[in-house]
Amino acid sequence: MNNENHHAHNRNDLPVYNIKAISQLVGLLPVTIRAWERRYGLPTPRRGQQGYRLYSEYDLKTLRWLKAQIDAGMNISRAVEYLNELRKNGQDPAISPSPATFSIPSLITTPEVSNLRLEFLDKLLAFNELQATEVLRRAFSLYSVDQVLTEIITPVLVEIGERWHRGELSIPVEHFATQFVMQHLMSMMTVTSQPTRPKKIFAACAPGEMHQIGILMLVVMLRWRGWEVIYFGADLKLDRLEETLNSIQPELIMFTANNLQNALHLTELPSILHKVKGKKPLVVLGGQAFQSNRLPENVAAIYLTGMRPSEIVSRIEALLLSDEKIEKS
């Protein structure tokens, strides 16, 4: 087998799907697929004997990958650029997909991302809300939600926090930056489309915990992926929590705590979950309080710490989807 045939064999280039079939399999309108072909040269169907477009398994995987990037918040032109970068580096996702079944493509840090990060930091330090908003608008037009949150917003907030702890910044600067990001995350929550996934997620900060940005990022990412996440905010008291859980019947509950004292309030969870009717939800705990601490063994929980927000989201999706497979078996 020569190199060209070997490459075609690896790519599954045999044309088998008409445009109606490929449209249904990918979840894109035929007009969208044709527009991408004209504008970006992707996918690359062949013509059958009667002149109709015919798509291969490789085309199908390429379209699904592109759609996944768009669903995550990336625009199509940037998704095509990203795909071409991966192909150039021998990492075509339609040939060699990531072994992590539920993960999104690896986040990348380019000079443009670094420039956006520095510009965003400068605007926040100058209390320039309008220009900081414009920086985020440009960032979201180029990169996915996950990339902007993880590669731009998070490092900037960490840098501001570290400068404040070193006494280089005043408290108003730190508060302004935190409130600015909080407002944008809350806005992003409100503009997500209707949930497309069947399961519900309960999310809140532990009693006494006031730091919301970390869990808000997770909520935004999950909502943008189509999950129904019901968010209860900071400092959620556990009094009569079982009533709420019985009402919404979530498949997974997620709490975060940065302070150990706040985290210890969650030792009440077993007695609360005992009162929940039907199947008990999975419990996921995160935040700085759990980096080196765990609750007593009677609190059956999954600890997700020391990971990027996008990695935590992928783990949560894997837990929910794995649980779904168990139910169906």
Per residue in 61-76, pLDDT (tens digit) is 899 888 887 776 677 8
Average pLDDT over residues 151-162: 92
| 267/197 Cα distance (integer angstroms) | 30
Give the number of residues written for the chain.
329
CB contact at 8 A, 148 and 181: no
Please tell me what DSSP assigns to residue 235: S
Position 8 pLDDT exceeds 60: no
Amino acid sitting at position 74: M
Q: Is residue 298 a contact partner of residue 322, using CB atoms and an 8 Å limit? A: no
Give Cα separations from 103 to 8, 19, 296, 313 (angstroms).
Answer: 27, 28, 30, 8
H-helix or E-strand spanning residue 323: helix 309-328
Check residue 73 and give its pLDDT.
64
Weakest mean pLDDT among 3-17, 84-98, 211-225, 303-317: 3-17
pLDDT band at 11 (very low <50, low <70, confident <90, very high): low
Model confidence at 232: pLDDT above 90: yes
CATH topology of domain 111-190: 1.10.1240
Q: What is the model's pLDDT at position 109?
A: 55
What whole-number distance in Å separates Cα of residue 229 and Cα of residue 248? 11
Question: Mean pLDDT score of the chain, rounded to an integer?
Answer: 84
* Mean pLDDT calculated for residue range 24-46: 86
What six digits make up the tokens of 59?
A: 């085309």
What's the pLDDT score for residue 111?
66
Show the tokens assigned to 47: 């013509």
Q: Where are the domains of the chain?
A: 3-88, 111-190, 200-328
Which of 3.30.1330.10, 3.30.2130.10, 3.40.50.970, 1.10.1660.10 would CATH assign to domain 3-88?
1.10.1660.10
Distance CA 68, CA 66 (A): 5
Which among 256, 261, 258, 260 is positioned nearest to 301, based on CA atoms? 256
* Residue 217 in this model has a pLDDT that exceeds 70: yes
Q: Same fold for the domain at 111-190 and the one at 200-328?
A: no
**SS3 category, 212:** coil
175 CB-near residues (< 8 Å, 6+ apart) = none
Pairing, β 252-256 against β 282-286: parallel
Determine phi and psi for 199, rounding to 5 degrees.
-105, 150
Which residues, listed in sequence order, are joined to residue 61 by a DSSP beta bridge?
none
| CA distance to 84, 132, 257, 274, per residue, from 118 (Å) | 26, 11, 29, 49
In words, the CATH class of domain 200-328 is alpha beta
